[in-house]
Chain A
Amino acid sequence: MPDLRIILVGFGVVARSFAEIVESDGESLARRYGLKPKIVGIADSRGAAIAQTGIDLKKALGSKKDNGDLSGLDGIYHEGMTGAQVIKEADCDVVVESTPTEITAAEPGLTHLKTAMMKGRHVVCTNKGPLALAMPALIELAHHNEVVLKFSGTVGGGTPVLDFAKKCLEGSEVRSIKGILNGTCNYILTRMANESATMKDALADAQRLGYAEADPTYDVEGLDTACKLVITSNHVLGTGLSIKDIDIRGITDISVEDVKEALSQGETIKLIGGVAGGKAKVSPERVKLTHPLNVSGTFNAICFDTFPSGEVTLVGKGAGGPETATSVIRDLLEIRRAYAR
């Protein structure tokens, strides 16, 4: 069984979780799936390491933990080397892109993806930015270069939302999609509903517990939900949306009174990303307390209205390092199967 040679561009929470799995469970991946990942390059914001014979992951993880960079990988570390350079220089089968999501120009992710596909590499991307901004273009580029572009981790973390909708619902026609796609917002709204917490307090708690970033704008303004909605809609319904086409309203102007009012009518308020009839929008909406979409805490839920099967709802954790790392493994398996050599 050949090695699957991988470059990790971005070595944050997700990529490190993935490296840990490879490091500790490598044997089981080989035994169960015939998957033998070999990391031949790693890049973070400060520099990169390349070793065609494979990078010692224990050392890489240790160095990142101790120094905040990869300088502990002496001999193979190049300070200041960029992700794009590594993609150009190191020989590999797959590039795993997990740099931070950015949605105005989607950089540096977009350049990483373009370079990787130009070089004929398959791509696994957990970064939502490039797909939210330029999905039709990226899919076109993948076709043109005859490579596989997978992005399961962008929606639902470890919960296989995209593959579920595309594969498991085959035979039914998906007519519309509605989802709670951001754990931070759902945590805040749940606290407001269950404990009458104010937005401010709930957000502070979310930050303390590590659910929300220090800068929560991207979550509470609905942008993260919009990214995931674009990707899901394009993948499942075949729309050609970009995040710039979407009406987005976040949860910042929701008050405890609004939530109470909804509750008194047997409903609650959720941040919903929805698409129907080619129109997509993100906004706080009322959901019946009895509806399967009414999940609490950091859970995500997505409801596909299908014909003739009716509504099908998938519930699961929407994020998390190890969870998202499993989506990377699923994507790699698919690439491995498509290109079994």
Chain B
Amino acid sequence: MRLVMKFGGVSVADGKGFRKVGTIVHKYHERGDQIAVVTSAMHSVTNSLIDAASQAGRGRKDHVRRYVDDLTERHRKACEDAIENREILDKIQHVVTSTCDDLRNILLGIAHIGELTPRSRDYVIGFGERLAAPVLQGVFEDMGMKAKALTGGEAGIVTDDNFGAAQPLMNMTTLQVRQNLGPIMEDGTIPIVSGFIAQTQESIQTTIGRGGSDYTASIIGASIRSDEVLVWKDVDGLMTANPKIVKNAKMIDSISFPEAMELAHFGAEIIHPKALECAAKYQLPFRVKSLADPDRPGSTIVSEVKVKDGDVVKAITNIDDVDLITVCGASMVGTPRLPAKVLQILTDEDIDVLMISQSSSEESITLAIPKESGSRAQNALELSLLGSKQVREVNIETALSIVAVVGAGMKGTPGVAARVFATMAKENINIRAIAQGSSELNISCIIKKKDAAKAVNALHDDFELGV
């Protein structure tokens, strides 16, 4: 089989983690699989780089020096803990040190000028992945496998120059990745690709946005036409509900891409939606695997899942802590283009809208916004809209949750919404707003946060999802 294996920051948090990754990969390697590995940065490193970049932008050279020393030490230590062979250890530590020297010079350069451009920021925040890949290479070599660390750009991923969230040119990318990785994989070498980073056609480093390493895994998988992408996580797989809330939550064996995207949207993000979208397009199956228990089959995400009879709902998810903002129109005659205006204002402020509903009289628009941006959203809307004669007031209601019922079987099954409402009513839970995706893959309700756990459990029971 041809496989892509993706390891997140938690799996490579320290030397022990790197070694464990080696053990897992080794097993598949022995079995005769051709493997390409995609790695994230060591846990929390990317965030620290983001911080270091902005510190540098403010001219703090001392901070930069201290930071890079720590980072170097952390990676050297991980090497020591994970690699036994002295020669390999020296070689990899040398790579780590010189990569960190490179980073120090760049950060000091930024600090010297006191300006952080999007381009130099992308260069800096990709160092975590660039450091993790060689460490894995060392571990694999230490265990007797042939391996080669590559940046996303070296692997062949080419993007536009929209720094921070660059878009791959997929046709050119698949061609180049196939040409670059194909031969070395045939030869039994394991390419280890730094996730999250890529480069423009002029070879300038870019990053591909949040959830980047999952996305890299999708891109690599699509390019080399892998049979499956295995995403290794510190969970057992995809669950019918958050096990912290629902004691008898069960693992889901198999789910479709659209369902997984709904789950991700409504708070159960195991794999980034961008990665899923790419995988769906190239019909590339994903499998979520457990780091703690590698022999479990895990959950698969595939193009098409047969809906079993009576298997209407797959999972219940919830997003805690949302605010509900209501924009009340000034007149009853309707306010053309108000919804578009409202969304534009929020987009300009970079605020996520989780759910939107509009009364049919067009008199008001209700939006669910993550709590952390709630009051910012209210402010922005008030500043732009009040006094425009279109809008009377902008209200905010806090301490709410979204509970969503997700499943492809809902499509064409009448009465699911009624069942949801009946359950809520039985539990005496008041629904503040509802929305159903036109795909009929989800029904989502906004309720008081204090009722969320009760609602999720009741729905989970009612749809008989538990063990």
Query: A residues bordering B, Cβ < 8 Å?
Result: 105, 114, 118, 133-134, 136-141, 144-145, 240
Bound-state Cα–Cα, A133 to B172, Å: 11
Give the chain A neighbours of B171 by CB distance below 8 A: 134, 136-137, 139-140, 240
User: B202 — nearest CB in chain A belongs to which residue?
Assistant: A118
Q: Do A141 and B201 touch across chains, with their CB atoms under 8 A apart?
A: yes
Judged by a CB distance under 8 angstroms, whether B169 is at the interface is yes
Partner of B169, one of A105, A133, A140, A240: A140
8 of the cross-chain contacts (CB-CB < 8 Å) are: A114-B201, A133-B175, A134-B171, A134-B175, A137-B172, A141-B169, A141-B172, A144-B169
Judged by a CB distance under 8 angstroms, whether B179 is at the interface is yes
Per-residue CB contact flags for chain B residues 167-178 toward chain A (1 = under 8 Å, else 0) read 001111011100
Bound-state Cα–Cα, A68 to B201, Å: 34
Give the chain A neighbours of B175 by CB distance below 8 A: 133-134, 137
Give the chain B neighbours of A140 by CB distance below 8 A: 169-172
Extra pairs beyond A137-B176, A138-B172 (9, CB < 8 Å) = A114-B201, A118-B201, A118-B202, A134-B172, A134-B175, A137-B171, A141-B172, A144-B201, A145-B201
Judged by a CB distance under 8 angstroms, whether B160 is at the interface is yes
User: A135 — nearest CB in chain B belongs to which residue?
Assistant: B171
- For the complex formed, measure the closest distance between the CB of B81 and the CB atoms of chain A, giving whole angstroms: 41
Bound-state Cα–Cα, A266 to B408, Å: 58
User: A114 — nearest CB in chain B belongs to which residue?
Assistant: B201
Bound-state Cα–Cα, A100 to B66, Å: 56
User: A143 — nearest CB in chain B belongs to which residue?
Assistant: B169
User: A145 — nearest CB in chain B belongs to which residue?
Assistant: B201
The majority secondary structure among interface residues of chain A is helix
Top 7 A-B residue pairs of the complex, sorted by shortest distance between their CB atoms = A137-B171, A137-B172, A136-B171, A140-B171, A137-B175, A118-B201, A134-B175
User: B158 — nearest CB in chain A belongs to which residue?
Assistant: A141
User: A105 — nearest CB in chain B belongs to which residue?
Assistant: B179
Give the chain B neighbours of A145 by CB distance below 8 A: 201
User: A136 — nearest CB in chain B belongs to which residue?
Assistant: B171
User: A118 — nearest CB in chain B belongs to which residue?
Assistant: B201
User: B200 — nearest CB in chain A belongs to which residue?
Assistant: A118
Per-residue CB contact flags for chain B residues 154-186 toward chain A (1 = under 8 Å, else 0) read 000000100000000111101110010000000
Give the chain B neighbours of A136 by CB distance below 8 A: 171
Bound-state Cα–Cα, A144 to B200, Å: 11
Q: Do A144 and B160 touch across chains, with their CB atoms under 8 A apart?
A: yes
Bound-state Cα–Cα, A105 to B183, Å: 12
- For the complex formed, measure the closest distance between the CB of B198 and the CB atoms of chain A, giving whole angstroms: 14
Give the chain A neighbours of B179 by CB distance below 8 A: 105
User: B203 — nearest CB in chain A belongs to which residue?
Assistant: A118
User: A104 — nearest CB in chain B belongs to which residue?
Assistant: B179
User: B170 — nearest CB in chain A belongs to which residue?
Assistant: A140
User: B167 — nearest CB in chain A belongs to which residue?
Assistant: A144
Bound-state Cα–Cα, A133 to B175, Å: 9
Give the chain A neighbours of B160 by CB distance below 8 A: 144
Bound-state Cα–Cα, A137 to B201, Å: 12
User: A115 — nearest CB in chain B belongs to which residue?
Assistant: B201
Bound-state Cα–Cα, A140 to B167, Å: 13
- For the complex formed, measure the closest distance between the CB of A45 and the CB atoms of chain B, giving whole angstroms: 23
- For the complex formed, measure the closest distance between the CB of A18 and the CB atoms of chain B, giving whole angstroms: 28
Give the chain A neighbours of B174 by CB distance below 8 A: 137
Give the chain A neighbours of B202 by CB distance below 8 A: 118
Give the chain B neighbours of A134 by CB distance below 8 A: 171-172, 175
Q: Report B268-288 residues with CB < 8 Å from chain A CB.
A: none
Give the chain A neighbours of B170 by CB distance below 8 A: 140
Q: Report B176-233 residues with CB < 8 Å from chain A CB.
A: 176, 179, 201-202
- For the complex formed, measure the closest distance between the CB of B53 and the CB atoms of chain A, giving whole angstroms: 27
Query: For B160, B175, B179, which residue has the most chain A Cβ atoms within 10 angstroms?
Result: B175
Query: For A141, A144, A145, which residue has the most chain B Cβ atoms within 10 angstroms?
Result: A144
- For the complex formed, measure the closest distance between the CB of B92 and the CB atoms of chain A, giving whole angstroms: 32
- For the complex formed, measure the closest distance between the CB of A85 and the CB atoms of chain B, giving whole angstroms: 16
Bound-state Cα–Cα, A137 to B171, Å: 4
Give the chain A neighbours of B169 by CB distance below 8 A: 137, 140-141, 144
Bound-state Cα–Cα, A141 to B252, Å: 41
- For the complex formed, measure the closest distance between the CB of A88 and the CB atoms of chain B, giving whole angstroms: 11
Q: Report B102-156 residues with CB < 8 Å from chain A CB.
A: none
Bound-state Cα–Cα, A141 to B200, Å: 11
- For the complex formed, measure the closest distance between the CB of B181 and the CB atoms of chain A, giving whole angstroms: 14
- For the complex formed, measure the closest distance between the CB of A272 and the CB atoms of chain B, giving whole angstroms: 28
- For the complex formed, measure the closest distance between the CB of A11 and the CB atoms of chain B, giving whole angstroms: 26
Give the chain B neighbours of A133 by CB distance below 8 A: 175
Give the chain A neighbours of B172 by CB distance below 8 A: 134, 137-138, 140-141
- For the complex formed, measure the closest distance between the CB of A149 and the CB atoms of chain B, giving whole angstroms: 13
Give the chain B neighbours of A141 by CB distance below 8 A: 169, 172, 201
- For the complex formed, measure the closest distance between the CB of B171 and the CB atoms of chain A, giving whole angstroms: 4
Bound-state Cα–Cα, A137 to B157, Å: 12
Bound-state Cα–Cα, A145 to B175, Å: 18
- For the complex formed, measure the closest distance between the CB of B281 and the CB atoms of chain A, giving whole angstroms: 12
Give the chain B neighbours of A118 by CB distance below 8 A: 201-202
- For the complex formed, measure the closest distance between the CB of B225 and the CB atoms of chain A, giving whole angstroms: 11
Query: For B160, B169, B202, which residue has the most chain A Cβ atoms within 10 angstroms?
Result: B169
Bound-state Cα–Cα, A139 to B202, Å: 18
- For the complex formed, measure the closest distance between the CB of A275 and the CB atoms of chain B, giving whole angstroms: 20
Query: For A133, A139, A141, which residue has the most chain B Cβ atoms within 10 angstroms?
Result: A141
